[in-house]
Chain A
């Protein structure tokens, strides 16, 4: 009985849903603040202490607004795609070892790295469906761009994720984390840098944010959404960003590994994990602000001509240097 209560607590409250929700909103606030500071602005400042509740206010406001469903849209897809995208992403996050173990204890199995990557593709596909079903030319173009982009960049992403898996000798996320007393970002920096860039494309952030380029396609796949559905779509996007940063943390920065000073190791594990995720999010936001948007053809060209060969090279490099890297693992 206690076990079940503990499981429910873990899924719903602590490393699970509630924690992830508030952490996502906190990350959103950090992003907006960093972006504003980079552009010599203040960013959200008067909603709660230093504007901390701004993402929450946005979310609640969207929930209380009217929901419009276009007559020509495919109603079921239009309704459920945002919620499915959000739930698939939260489900994927449940497999990452946030406080040392995954959210549902002992759910980790051999090859859950591949499974988690597949779930991200499914979530991206939901975003595509969201745009495709809303019967708007801008949404359709945005959705087609989502599909083009994530189909292309998934391949290098998976190849680059194989580098840490190869070094750890396992496709299990927990094993990859536990074998990193020296983070793989130090041992294989080439894969780390490429992974950050590819993740930038996977998360549709600048310079790869063609799917919702405001000056070309209004808001891309989000164009027709309003009210609660838009709230969930935006939340799904923010959760996706947190998920990307968490995946980088798990694969390259040693996840929840870190010194434990006193008290519960879970507390320190979560603290290190959150700090590492925040570092990744700040880096990715720096890239977002520093670079201008590429065109869609440049994005596709960059994928097939530059990132894919580089990721193959990086995998070859990792494997050929493994003899010298292995003693450090």
Chain B
């Protein structure tokens, strides 16, 4: 039974996109994911309008003081189990804005983050890779081949 639930969760992650004060660079890369070139609906990933429907929160931006409250509230509106992916250097650590007076700096200062995808902005391939790694971490570990193990260590 749990196997079926995990299978369904891995195969149909619905995402919600939240911009917490980004320069729109990362957002455009996320849009590139959803549009024909990288079409992530292949993997069942769908952009949902409401946080109540979403499983994965894609967060971009350095989290301004104004946005922190809203980000937290959006996160709390999502039903369990939920995952957060921080996309871009700003979302990971605050980036070039770290230490600024109006910036909290990093999504993980406000809500728990499951996957960090650095880059300014990260390439769409990198975002797909990050989300796939996050989803694979849901599945119980399989006995991997030697080559794959090396890959994980790197």
Q: A65 and B80: CB pair below 8 A?
A: yes
Residue A47 at the B interface, CB < 8 A? yes
Stretch of B23-31, B35-43, B58-66 lying at the A interface: B35-43
Residue B96 at the A interface, CB < 8 A? no
Q: B49 and A47: CB pair below 8 A?
A: no
- A325 CA / B42 CA spacing, docked (Å): 48
Contacts of A41 in B (CB 8 A): 36, 39, 41-42
Given A60-B5, A65-B80, do A230 and B52 touch, yes or no (CB 8 Å)?
A: yes
Q: A47 and B44: CB pair below 8 A?
A: yes
Given A219-B53, A223-B52, do A58 and B79 touch, yes or no (CB 8 Å)?
A: no
Residue A298 at the B interface, CB < 8 A? no
Interface size of B by CB at 8 A reads 23
- A61 CA / B8 CA spacing, docked (Å): 5
Residue A318 at the B interface, CB < 8 A? no
Could you mark each residue 29-42 of chain A with 1 if its beta carbon is under 8 Å from any beta carbon of chain B, else 0?
Answer: 00010001001111
Among candidates B44, B50, B77, B80, residue contacting A57 with C-beta atoms closer than 8 Å: B44
Pairs across A and B, CB under 8 Å, 20 listed: A44-B41, A44-B44, A45-B42, A54-B12, A54-B44, A57-B11, A57-B44, A59-B8, A60-B8, A64-B8, A64-B9, A65-B55, A219-B48, A219-B53, A222-B50, A223-B50, A223-B52, A225-B53, A227-B79, A230-B53
Could you mark each residue 124-142 of chain B with 1 if its beta carbon is under 8 Å from any beta carbon of chain A, else 0?
Answer: 0000000000000000000
Among candidates A43, A214, A218, A225, residue contacting B41 with C-beta atoms closer than 8 Å: A43
Given A219-B49, A223-B50, do A66 and B9 touch, yes or no (CB 8 Å)?
A: no
User: Within residues 87 to 105 of chain A, which ones have a CB less than 8 A from any CB in chain B?
Assistant: none
Given A43-B41, A65-B79, A67-B79, do A222 and B53 touch, yes or no (CB 8 Å)?
A: yes
Q: A226 and B41: CB pair below 8 A?
A: no
Q: A43 and B9: CB pair below 8 A?
A: no
- A105 CA / B55 CA spacing, docked (Å): 43
- A218 CA / B47 CA spacing, docked (Å): 12
Q: B53 and A226: CB pair below 8 A?
A: yes
Contacts of B44 in A (CB 8 A): 44, 46-47, 51, 54, 57-58
A-B contact count (CB 8 A): 90
Contacts of A218 in B (CB 8 A): 49-50
Q: B53 and A54: CB pair below 8 A?
A: no
Q: What are the 8 tightest A-B residue pairs by CB atom distance, in nearest-first order?
A: A60-B8, A66-B79, A61-B8, A57-B11, A66-B80, A226-B52, A41-B39, A214-B49
Which of B7, B36, B44 gathers the greatest number of chain A CB atoms within 10 Å?
B44
Could you mark each residue 42-78 of chain A with 1 if its beta carbon is under 8 Å from any beta carbon of chain B, else 0?
Answer: 1111110001011011111100111110000000000
**Chain B residues engaging chain A, CB cutoff 8 angstroms:** 4-5, 7-9, 11-12, 36, 39, 41-44, 48-50, 52-53, 55, 77, 79-81
- A227 CA / B12 CA spacing, docked (Å): 13
Residue A224 at the B interface, CB < 8 A? yes
Which chain A residue lies CB-closest to B2? A64
Q: A61 and B12: CB pair below 8 A?
A: yes
Contacts of B48 in A (CB 8 A): 219
- A230 CA / B54 CA spacing, docked (Å): 11
Contacts of B36 in A (CB 8 A): 39-41
Determine how close the nearest CB of chain A comes to the CB of B52; give it in whole angstroms.
4
- A44 CA / B41 CA spacing, docked (Å): 5
- A66 CA / B5 CA spacing, docked (Å): 13
Contacts of A42 in B (CB 8 A): 39, 41-42
Q: A219 and B50: CB pair below 8 A?
A: yes
Which chain B residue lies CB-closest to A230? B53
Which of A47, A67, A224, A227 gathers the greatest number of chain B CB atoms within 10 Å?
A47
Determine how close the nearest CB of chain A comes to the CB of B35; give it in whole angstroms.
8
- A67 CA / B53 CA spacing, docked (Å): 10
Among candidates B11, B41, B43, B80, residue contacting A36 with C-beta atoms closer than 8 Å: B41
- A329 CA / B19 CA spacing, docked (Å): 61
Contacts of A61 in B (CB 8 A): 5, 8-9, 11-12, 55
Q: A60 and B4: CB pair below 8 A?
A: yes
Determine how close the nearest CB of chain B comes to the CB of A307; give it in whole angstroms.
28
- A36 CA / B36 CA spacing, docked (Å): 8
- A53 CA / B49 CA spacing, docked (Å): 23
Determine how close the nearest CB of chain A comes to the CB of B144; give it in whole angstroms.
20
Which chain B residue lies CB-closest to A227? B79
- A303 CA / B42 CA spacing, docked (Å): 37
Contacts of B50 in A (CB 8 A): 218-219, 222-224
